[in-house]
A = this chain, B = another copy of it.
Amino acid sequence: MPAKKQPIPSVWTRPRPQKQQPALSRAQIVSEAVKLLDAEGIEALSMRRLGTQLGAAATSLYRHVANKDELLELVVDEIYGEVAVPEAEDPARWRASISACAHSLRTTGLRHPWLTALLGHAGLVYLGPNMMRVSDRVLAILRSAGFPPGEADQAISSVIAYVIGMTGSEAAFLSLLARTGYTEQEWIEQLWPAAEQAAQEHDRLREEFAVQRGQDPVRAREENFVYGLDRILDGLQLRLDQLSGSR
């Protein structure tokens, strides 16, 4: 078997200098990673896979990115770039602005259900430029609404914590569906007996389950989200009234 796989060194087989296309760049890598994550989920993202997707070898990526973890940090900030925060800072409409921002954060999180898994996977220092942009804008809204410097930050992390928590739970469910191939309706229907049985001895839980049954799950999730958001915004409004009252 003298025929080896190594290319015969000849002018004709030698790779032509067609490498004039941009080759590889950090931005391109991150963007392709997002595409791959969206298409096939978090466990499909390996350096080799991402490499072949870019027409490159796995180890080439390391010229532009220190780690897989660093790559993931970049990916997270890239996604934060999709979050829309209203510019207008009319103090009277702070509630609408924050609400819009929260909704944007949620839909972004649901559009990329793998995001929350990355957020949990620690090591993310929250210093990416897009993340900073969002924080600064939201801060502007809250400050103009009347929250003092030290408190605006607490208010913002409360809202964000809520949105991330809620969206994370939804996203986990959605990516479970994506992996198993069920629709939301099918999954609930199939899980029903197990849930009923698990809720034995828990009358209140069963009752709560029964209320949810037959609702459109997408709408139910949305209403659930809005409910909690409204409670938080109510609470913040109350605090705002206290602040302006004591001044």
Residues of A near any B CB (own CB < 8 A): 113, 116-125, 127, 129, 132-133, 135-136, 139-140, 143, 149-155, 157-158, 160-166, 168-169, 171-173, 175-176, 179, 191, 194-195, 198-199, 202, 204-205, 207-208, 211-212, 223-224, 227-228, 230-236, 238-239
Closest Cβ of chain B: how far from A88's Cβ, in Å? 16
Q: Roughly how many angstroms separate A154 CA and B123 CA in the complex, as a whole number? A: 32
Assembly CA distance A126 to B211 (angstroms): 18
Which among B139, B154, B172, B238 is the interface contact of A119 at CB below 8 angstroms? B172
* Contact of A152 (CB < 8 Å), options: B118, B149, B208: B208
B166 lies within 8 A of A157 (CB): yes
Residue of A113, A149, A158, A230 with most partner-chain B CB within 10 A: A158
| Minimum distance in angstroms from A161 CB to a CB of chain B | 3
- Give the residues in chain B near A149, CB-CB below 8 Å: 207-208, 211
The answer to whether B228 and A157 have CB atoms under 8 Å apart is yes
A204-B143 contact given A149-B211, A234-B235, CB 8 Å threshold: yes
A199 to B117, CA, bound (A): 26
Number of copies: 2
Contact, CB under 8 Å: A161 / B169: yes
B153 near A212: Cβ-Cβ < 8 Å: yes
Known: A135-B202, A136-B204, A162-B165. 16 other contacts (CB 8 A): A125-B191, A129-B198, A133-B202, A151-B227, A153-B208, A153-B211, A154-B223, A154-B224, A154-B227, A155-B227, A155-B228, A161-B165, A161-B166, A162-B228, A232-B235, A238-B238
Note all chain B residues with C-beta closer than 8 A to A158. Answer: 162, 166, 227-228, 231-232
A176 touches B123 (CB 8 A): yes
What is the minimal beta-carbon distance from A112 to any residue of chain B, in angstroms?
13
Q: How far is the CA of A231 from the CA of B156 in the complex (A)?
A: 12
In the complex where A127-B198, A132-B199, A162-B158 touch, is A139 in contact with B231 (Cβ < 8 A)? no
